[in-house]
Structure 1
Amino acid sequence: MLTVNKHMPQGGGLAAVLVRRAATLELDWDMRQKSRFAAIDSTGRELAVVLARGSVLRGGDVLVAEDGSLVAVRAAPQAVLRVTAATPLGLLRAAYHLGNRHIPVEVTPTHLHLEHDPVLHDMLLRLGAQVALVDAPFEPEAGAYGGGHRHGHDASFAEDQALAQSVYALHDHGHAHGHSHDHSHGHEHGHEHSHDHDHDHKGCCGHGHGHDHPHG
């Protein structure tokens, strides 16, 4: 399996002829949000894609394998809802309500695209929009603060979450151990204090009635 570990957004200035000659890799939106995955390119090569965490691939990007070969990324057609409206205001209204739900949306001058969702389909119809299920490449808007839209199913997110949980578990174990250790020392300290007090009491009174008390 060939490792691919370099990402060049939109070709990164490579000569167009080099990109045209490169093997291609068609990926849907769900896969293009992942920074680690296995895939097979147009030449049949098995690829292990290992990119920086948080990487998001777009159609037109180029990947570089460890042997220096290039792989051109293509946005694969997938099931999406195409939203249109009778007026620009109607389309704007649909985009507003979708934006309130923080879902990935592709915006064009004539229509919107979003991943197929029956609930959103019904909502858009109630808003007066026209909705059709089509197969098309899906290129949603990037986040306003950079990067792509993130969901829990993203692979890098899952890896980070697993790492965080492991660190938390170690911290929690260490805290519990430390607490037990401190508690036992505190108990010993209290025992020694009581023992010393009994001896002082004996010395003061000149007799040993302190020994009649059970030590428990």
Structure 2
Amino acid sequence: MTLRAVAVRRAGQWPVAEMRDEVVFDHDQRYRRRMRFTAIGGVDVLLDLPEAVQVRDGDAYELAEGGFIRVRAIAEPLLDVTAADADNLAVLAWHIGNRHLAAQFLPGRLRLLDDHVIAAMLTQLGGTVVRLTAPFDPEQGAYHHG
């Protein structure tokens, strides 16, 4: 039987005791309105949201039949970008935004999906780029409402 996920509940705002299963998704999979998936424990789920919502690590899909599917963020290949000072970091952020790339903003650093062309550009612009593998939680777009 396929269960229907009809809402997203933020981490800490859903009863963990009612978790029926969990799923591990990358950042693209965590921004969907509709898709079918099988959770880790074998529960079949149809994601059927009114609109696409950026789901973060620890959030849950609420099931129409009762219960929740916890969402975990999988580690992805990323670029961790730092700069000599805040002004240079702002320039790097501008170039990332100008290319409409998904970016995660952390204190004194930026993270984005690994891309050798972007890594070379950021290095040429004075950034320090380190490749790493970690969950990616990019900033929501300017037109996001939710």
Superposition TM-score, scaled by structure 2 size: 0.85
One-letter amino acid of the structure 2 residue matched with residue 7 of structure 1: A
Cα pair distance change 1:20/1:85, threshold 3 Å: farther
| Matching residue within 16, 19, 36 for 2:16 | 19
Partner of 1:132: 130
Partner of 2:7: 7
Greater relative contact order: 1 or 2 (C-alpha under 8 angstroms, separation 6 or more)? 2
Q: Is the 8 A contact 1:11 1:19 kept in 2?
A: no
Listed one character per residue, the Cα deviations across residues 120-158 of structure 1 (whole Å, up to 9, x for unaligned) are 11110101111122111111111123259xxxxxxxxxx
5+ residue gaps, structure 1: 149-216
One-letter amino acid of the structure 2 residue matched with residue 2 of structure 1: T
SS at match of 1:31: coil
Sequence identity of aligned pairs in percent?
32
Over the aligned positions, Cα root-mean-square deviation in angstroms equals 2.1
Partner of 2:43: 45
Give 1:40 deviation, angstroms: 2.4
Partner of 1:83: 81
Measured in 1, the distance between the counterparts of 2:3 and 2:136 equals 26
Query: For 1:82-121, what aligned pairs fall within 5 Å after superposition?
Result: 82-121=80-119
Measured in 1, the distance between the counterparts of 2:9 and 2:121 equals 35
Q: Is the 8 A contact 1:4 1:51 kept in 2?
A: no
One-letter amino acid of the structure 2 residue matched with residue 5 of structure 1: A
Measured in 2, the distance between the counterparts of 1:142 and 1:8 equals 16
Measured in 2, the distance between the counterparts of 1:36 and 1:42 equals 19
Q: Is the 8 A contact 2:9 2:62 kept in 1?
A: no
Q: Is the 8 A contact 1:3 1:50 kept in 2?
A: no
Whichever structure has more strand as a proportion of its residues is 2
Listed one character per residue, the Cα deviations across residues 65-100 of structure 1 (whole Å, up to 9, x for unaligned) are 232121111111111111112222222221111111
Aligned residues between the structures = 145
One-letter amino acid of the structure 1 residue matched with residue 123 of structure 2: L
Q: Is the 8 A contact 2:9 2:60 kept in 1?
A: yes
SS at match of 1:90: helix
Q: Is the 8 A contact 1:7 1:61 kept in 2?
A: no
5+ residue gaps, structure 2: none
Partner of 2:139: 141
